[in-house]
C-alpha cells in the first residue's frame, strides 16, 4: 500500500528509487494534476505554436484564429507519427509528414488522401486534445484529467507568487525571453523540489562557492552583473541562526514558499541604483507609491507550485521539474521580462539565472552532485526509512489551513509528502 | 607551430593537468569566458548562457576549483581536451574541441567549435574572449564543473 510509504516522521526510500512507485506517480499525479505547459507570450499570434511537455506526453500549444488556445497531443491520429518537430513556429494547419493527414489548429481533421477508400471518412479522428487547459494570468496550465478542481483553486495560496510577479511589471504583463537552460541529474524529481526550500543545506553544500567569493572581494567593486553574482554566492554564507529567521509557508495543496534572504547590494529588495530608480518610477506610475512599495516589499525566494514548478518572482525566473524515471530528472529554467521595465533589468535577470541556475553554476552544480549522491545512497537498502522530523516541533498551523515554520524546519518535505500520499492513494 | 597554436595547446594542457590558476593567467584582465546556449547567439543579453563570466567571476570559479572542497569535484574529473583544426586570422583563432571527461564512474564527452579572441600584451599573447559553442548547447546537461 502506497500510504504505508509515508509516516509523519519518515518516508520510505521506495518513494525515490522504486520504478513501480514512479509509474504510479506518473499515473496519479502527472496524468491528473494541473501542470505548467508554457506562457501565453510564447504564442502571441494566430497560428503560433510551441512544443511542450505535459507529464509524460509531448503536446503542441497552438494559438487558434479565434484567439483561443488548443493543446493537442503531438501524435497523428493515423499511424502515430509526431506531427510537429520544430520547437516553435507558425502554421495555418497541422499536417502529418507520413501520409499527409491534415488538421485545423483546433485539432479537427480537414482531410486525408484517398478518402474515397474509406467507407465512412467522416468517422476518422482528429488530433487528441488535452481535456483541460486554463491560463492563470498568462501562465498556461493543463491537466490530462477531465475532472478535478479549477486551476485557481488548485494554485490556492501560491497564486500570490504569480500575482506578485505581474504586480512587479510596469506594463501589467510578462514576456518569456532568453530561451532555456536544461539541467539533468541521475536522481529523483522530488529531490529538486525538497532542496529548493531546504535552508540548512546551503551552509554545507554551497560552502565552496561562498568561500571562493569571500577570497575575491574585488568582484563586489566590479560592474553590476559581477557584483550581483558575487553577492549571490556570498548570500549562501548565512549562519544557521540567520537561516532560521527566513520564514517557510506551506499551503493546502502541497505548495510552499520560502522568504527572501538577500540583504545587501544589487540583489537586496531595497536596491538603490539608477536603473532600479527608473524601474521604481515606472512602477509607481502604474500602481501609485503606496502599492508600488508594498509590491516591492514582498520578499520571497523560491515559490513552489506542487508538484513540479518553482517560481522566483523577484528575479523573473521559473524552473519546471520533469521526471523522466525514478532516478532521472531534467529541470528547465526559463526567464520572464517584466514588460515596461528598463532593459538593464532583463540583462540582470539573465545573468542572475546563468550564475545561479545553469548546470555549470558554482551553486547549482553542487546541488546536482548531492542529488546524485542521495540517489546512489538510497539505492542501497541498509536503512529503509528517511527521517524528516527536523523542526517539526515549531510547525504553526494557521486558521486558513496553511502552516508556517522557521527556516531550518523540514516542514516543506513533510508537507509535500502528505500531499503526495493523498494524490497517490486515490 | 605558430604562437597562437602553441597558446591553444598550452591552454588545453593546463586544464587537463588541473593547473587552473595558470590557466586563468592566460586571460586578459577584461577577458570573458562564454558558453552560450544557442548557436549564433549574438550576445549574453539575447539568451541564457551556460557560462558567461568576466574574468572577475572566472577568478571565483578558479578559486573554488583550486580549494578542492567542492562536492562536484570530489573526486576530481580527469579530462582530455583535444584541440584540432586551428585556423588563425589576425587576432582571432577558431578551432574544434572535444573534451573527454571521466569522473566518479561516469565518462562523457563534449564537442564544440571554439573562438579565441587574442591580444598582444607586455606579458605576451592573452585571451580576451573564449567562446565555446557546444554542438548541444541547448540540450540538458549534468553538472559541468571543469572548464571546457
Task: List the CATH number of the domain containing A338.
Answer: 3.90.380.10
User: Which letter, b or e, does each residue of A309-318 get, where b requires 16 or more Cβ atoms within 10 Å of its Cβ?
Assistant: bbbbbbbbbb
Partners of residue A335 in chain B, C-beta under 8 Å: 48
The band of B117, judged by pLDDT with boundaries at 50, 70 and 90, is: very high
Same domain, A202 and A96: no
Question: Is B79:B109 a contact under the CB 8 Å cutoff?
Answer: no
Question: Is A6:A416 a contact under the CB 8 Å cutoff?
Answer: no
Q: Degrees (nearest 5) of the Cα angle A187, B37, A343?
A: 115
Cβ-nearest to B64 among A184, A186, A362: A362
> Side by side, which strands form the sheet with B124-134?
B49-54, B27-36, B124-134, B106-121, B92-103, B78-89
B44 close contact with A: CB closer than 8 A: yes
For residue B147, is it within any domain?
A: no
**Domain of residue A138, CATH code:** 2.102.10.10
Task: Note the pLDDT of residue A337.
Answer: 97
Percent of chain B with pLDDT over 90: 95
| DSSP code for A78 | T
Same domain, A207 and A171: yes
Question: Is A420:A11 a contact under the CB 8 Å cutoff?
Answer: no
A307 phi and psi, to 5 degrees? -95, -15
Say whether A181 and B72 touch across the interface (CB within 8 A). no
Partners of residue B76 in chain A, C-beta under 8 Å: none
A305 phi and psi, to 5 degrees? -90, 120
For residue B140, is it within any domain?
A: no
Say whether B47 and A350 touch across the interface (CB within 8 A). yes
Partners of residue B70 in chain A, C-beta under 8 Å: 208-209, 365-366
- What lies within 8 Å, CB to CB, of B85 at 6+ separation is B94, B95, B96
Q: Which site among A365, A372, A376, A377 would you substitute to test the B interface, given the most B Cβ atoms closer than 10 Å to its Cβ?
A: A365
A28 phi and psi, to 5 degrees? -95, -20
Interface list for B 108-137 with A (CB within 8 A): none
- Mean pLDDT value across residues B80-102: 97
Say whether B50 and A358 touch across the interface (CB within 8 A). yes
Question: pTM for the complete prediction?
Answer: 0.97
| DSSP code for B77 | P
A51 phi and psi, to 5 degrees? -80, 140
Total structural domains in chain B? 1
B31 close contact with A: CB closer than 8 A: no
B2 min Cα distance to partner chain A (Å): 32
* Domain that includes residue A284, residue range: 156-425
Among A109, A143, A177, the domain-final residue is: A143
Orientation angle between helical segments A207-214 and B55-67, nearest 10 degrees: 120
DSSP string computed for A407-425: TT--HHHHHHHHHHHHHHH
For residue B123, is it within any domain?
A: yes
Could you tell me the three cell numbers for A78?
493515423
Partners of residue A330 in chain B, C-beta under 8 Å: 140
Give, in order, the Cα–Cα distances in Å from A174 to each of A169, A282, B40: 7, 15, 26
Partners of residue A207 in chain B, C-beta under 8 Å: 69
Q: How many beta carbons lie within 10 A of that of residue A382, not counting itself?
A: 6
For residue A22, is it within any domain?
A: no
B61 close contact with A: CB closer than 8 A: yes
Q: How many CA atoms lie within 13 A of A117 on its CB side?
A: 4
As a whole number of angstroms, the distance between CA B72 and CA A360 comes to: 10
Q: Which site among B64, B105, B106 would you substitute to test the A interface, given the most A Cβ atoms closer than 10 Å to its Cβ?
A: B64
* Domain that includes residue B15, residue range: 3-134
Question: Is B140:A182 a contact under the CB 8 Å cutoff?
Answer: yes
**Domain of residue B23, CATH code:** 3.10.450.50
At A244-283, the pLDDT tens digits run: 999 999 999 999 999 999 988 889 887 888 999 999 999 9
> What contacts 24+ positions apart, CB below 8 Å, involve A374-378?
A374/A16, A374/A187, A374/A191, A375/A16, A375/A17, A375/A186, A375/A187, A375/A188, A375/A191, A375/A327, A378/A13, A378/A16, A378/A17
A180 close contact with B: CB closer than 8 A: yes
Question: Is A162:A311 a contact under the CB 8 Å cutoff?
Answer: yes
Q: Which of A247, A298, A300, A276 is nearest to A409 (CA)?
A: A247
For every residue of A109-134, which 3-state class applies, written as one string? EEECCCHHHCCCHHHCCCCCECCEEE
Length of chain A: 426
Question: A67 — alpha (psi -120 to 50), left (phi > 0) or beta?
Answer: left
Could you tell me the three cell numbers for A315?
528575479
Partners of residue A178 in chain B, C-beta under 8 Å: 46-48
Tracing cell 585556423 back to the chain, one arrives at B87
Q: Which site among B50, B140, B147, B148 would you substitute to test the A interface, given the most A Cβ atoms closer than 10 Å to its Cβ?
A: B140
Task: Note the pLDDT of residue B142.
Answer: 98
Could you tell me the three cell numbers for B137?
548547447
Task: Tell me if residue A345 falls in helix, strand or coil.
Answer: helix
For residue B144, is it within any domain?
A: no
Partners of residue B57 in chain A, C-beta under 8 Å: 219, 226, 229-230, 355
pLDDT(B148) > 90:
yes
Same domain, A178 and A321: yes
Among A143, A167, A201, the domain-final residue is: A143
Strands A403-405 and B124-134: unpaired
Among A114, A143, A172, the domain-final residue is: A143
Partners of residue A222 in chain B, C-beta under 8 Å: 54, 56
Helical ranges in A168-300 per DSSP H: 189-195, 202-205, 207-214, 224-235, 240-244, 274-287, 289-297
* Rg for chain B, CA atoms, rounded: 15
A335 phi and psi, to 5 degrees? -125, 155
Question: Is A178:A338 a contact under the CB 8 Å cutoff?
Answer: no
As a whole number of angstroms, the distance between CA B84 and CA B88 comes to: 12
Interface list for A 331-370 with B (CB within 8 A): 333, 335, 343, 346-347, 350-351, 353-355, 358-360, 362, 364-366, 368-370
Total structural domains in chain A? 2
Could you tell me the three cell numbers for A354?
546563468
Task: Note the pLDDT of residue A84.
Answer: 97
Same domain, A170 and A256: yes
- Residues of chain A with pLDDT below 50 are none
As a whole number of angstroms, the distance between CA A261 and CA A269 comes to: 10
Q: Which of A260, A255, A267 is nearest to A226 (CA)?
A: A267
Please report, to the nearest 10 degrees, the dihedral formed by the alpha carbons of residues B31, B37, B39, B41 taken in order: -60
For residue A29, is it within any domain?
A: no
Q: Which site among A207, A360, A375 would you substitute to test the B interface, given the most B Cβ atoms closer than 10 Å to its Cβ?
A: A360
A288 close contact with B: CB closer than 8 A: no
**Residue B32, beta-bridge partner list:** B54, B129
Partners of residue A183 in chain B, C-beta under 8 Å: 140-143
Same domain, A77 and A189: no
For residue A197, is it within any domain?
A: yes
Residue of A nearest to B137 (CA): A181
Beta strands in B3-77 (DSSP E): 27-36, 49-54
Same domain, A392 and A280: yes
Q: Which site among A195, A204, A208, A342 would you substitute to test the B interface, given the most B Cβ atoms closer than 10 Å to its Cβ?
A: A208
Say whether B54 and A230 touch across the interface (CB within 8 A). no
Task: Note the pLDDT of residue A422.
Answer: 96
Residue of B nearest to A229 (CA): B57
Could you tell me the three cell numbers for B50?
551556460
For residue A236, is it within any domain?
A: yes
pLDDT(B68) > 90:
no
Amino acid at each position: 500500500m502506497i500510504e504505508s510509504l509515508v509516516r509523519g516522521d519518515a518516508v520510505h526510500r521506495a518513494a525515490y528509487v522504486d520504478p513501480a512507485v514512479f509509474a504510479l506517480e506518473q499515473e496519479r499525479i502527472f496524468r491528473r494534476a494541473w501542470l505548467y505547459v508554457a506562457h501565453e507570450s510564447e504564442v502571441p499570434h494566430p497560428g503560433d505554436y510551441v512544443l511542450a511537455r505535459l507529464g509524460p506526453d509531448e503536446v503542441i500549444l497552438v494559438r487558434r484564429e479565434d484567439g483561443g488556445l488548443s493543446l493537442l497531443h503531438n501524435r497523428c491520429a493515423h499511424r502515430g507519427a509526431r506531427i510537429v518537430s520544430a520547437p516553435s513556429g507558425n502554421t495555418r494547419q497541422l499536417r502529418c509528414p507520413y501520409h499527409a493527414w491534415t488538421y485545423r489548429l483546433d485539432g479537427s481533421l480537414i482531410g486525408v488522401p484517398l478518402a474515397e477508400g474509406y467507407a465512412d471518412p467522416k468517422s476518422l479522428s482528429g488530433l487528441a486534445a488535452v481535456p483541460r487547459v486554463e491560463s492563470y494570468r498568462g501562465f498556461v496550465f493543463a491537466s490530462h484529467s477531465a475532472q478535478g478542481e479549477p486551476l485557481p483553486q488548485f494554485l490556492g495560496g501560491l497564486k500570490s507568487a504569480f500575482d506578485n510577479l505581474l504586480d512587479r511589471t510596469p506594463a501589467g504583463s510578462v514576456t518569456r525571453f532568453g530561451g532555456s537552460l536544461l539541467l539533468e541529474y541521475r536522481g529523483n524529481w522530488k529531490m529538486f523540489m525538497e532542496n529548493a526550500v531546504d535552508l540548512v543545506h546551503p551552509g554545507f553544500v554551497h560552502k565552496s562557492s561562498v568561500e571562493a567569493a569571500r577570497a575575491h572581494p574585488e568582484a563586489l567593486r566590479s560592474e553590476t552583473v559581477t557584483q550581483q553574482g558575487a553577492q549571490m554566492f556570498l548570500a549562501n554564507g548565512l549562519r544557521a541562526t540567520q537561516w532560521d529567521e527566513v520564514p517557510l509557508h506551506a499551503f493546502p495543496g502541497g505548495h510552499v514558499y520560502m522568504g527572501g534572504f538577500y540583504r545587501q547590494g544589487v540583489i537586496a529588495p531595497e536596491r538603490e541604483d539608477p536603473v532600479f530608480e527608473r524601474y521604481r518610477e515606472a512602477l509607481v506610475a502604474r500602481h501609485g507609491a503606496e502599492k508600488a512599495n508594498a509590491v516591492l516589499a514582498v520578499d520571497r525566494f523560491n515559490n513552489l507550485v506542487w508538484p513540479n514548478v518553482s517560481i522566483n518572482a523577484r528575479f523573473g525566473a521559473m524552473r519546471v521539474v520533469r521526471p523522466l524515471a525514478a532516478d532521472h530528472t531534467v529541470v528547465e529554467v526559463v526567464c520572464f521580462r517584466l514588460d515596461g521595465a528598463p532593459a538593464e533589468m532583463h540583462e540582470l535577470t539573465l545573468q542572475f539565472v546563468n550564475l545561479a541556475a545553469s548546470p555549470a553554476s558554482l551553486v547549482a552544480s553542487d546541488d546536482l552532485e548531492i542529488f546524485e549522491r542521495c540517489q546512489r545512497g538510497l539505492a542501497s537498502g541498509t536503512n529503509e526509512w528517511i527521517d524528516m522530523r527536523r523542526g517539526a516541533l515549531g510547525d504553526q498551523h494557521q486558521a486558513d489551513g496553511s502552516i508556517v515554520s522557521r527556516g531550518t524546519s523540514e516542514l516543506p518535505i513533510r508537507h509535500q509528502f502528505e500531499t503526495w500520499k493523498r494524490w497517490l492513494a486515490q | 607551430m605558430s604562437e597562437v597554436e602553441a597558446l591553444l595547446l598550452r591552454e588545453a594542457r593546463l586544464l587537463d593537468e588541473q593547473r587552473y590558476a595558470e590557466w586563468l593567467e592566460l586571460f586578459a584582465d577584461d577577458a570573458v569566458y562564454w558558453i552560450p546556449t544557442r548557436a549564433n547567439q549574438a550576445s549574453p543579453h539575447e539568451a541564457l548562457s551556460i557560462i558567461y563570466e568576466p574574468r572577475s567571476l572566472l577568478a571565483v570559479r578558479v578559486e573554488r576549483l583550486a580549494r578542492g572542497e567542492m562536492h562536484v569535484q570530489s573526486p576530481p574529473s580527469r579530462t582530455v581536451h583535444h584541440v584540432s583544426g586551428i585556423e588563425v586570422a589576425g587576432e582571432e583563432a577558431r578551432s574544434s574541441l572535444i573534451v573527454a571527461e571521466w569522473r566518479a564512474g561516469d565518462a562523457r564527452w563534449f564537442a564544440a567549435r571554439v573562438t579565441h579572441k587574442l591580444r598582444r600584451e607586455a606579458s605576451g599573447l592573452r585571451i580576451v574572449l573564449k567562446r565555446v559553442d557546444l554542438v548541444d548547447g541547448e540540450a540538458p546537461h549534468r553538472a559541468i564543473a571543469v572548464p571546457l
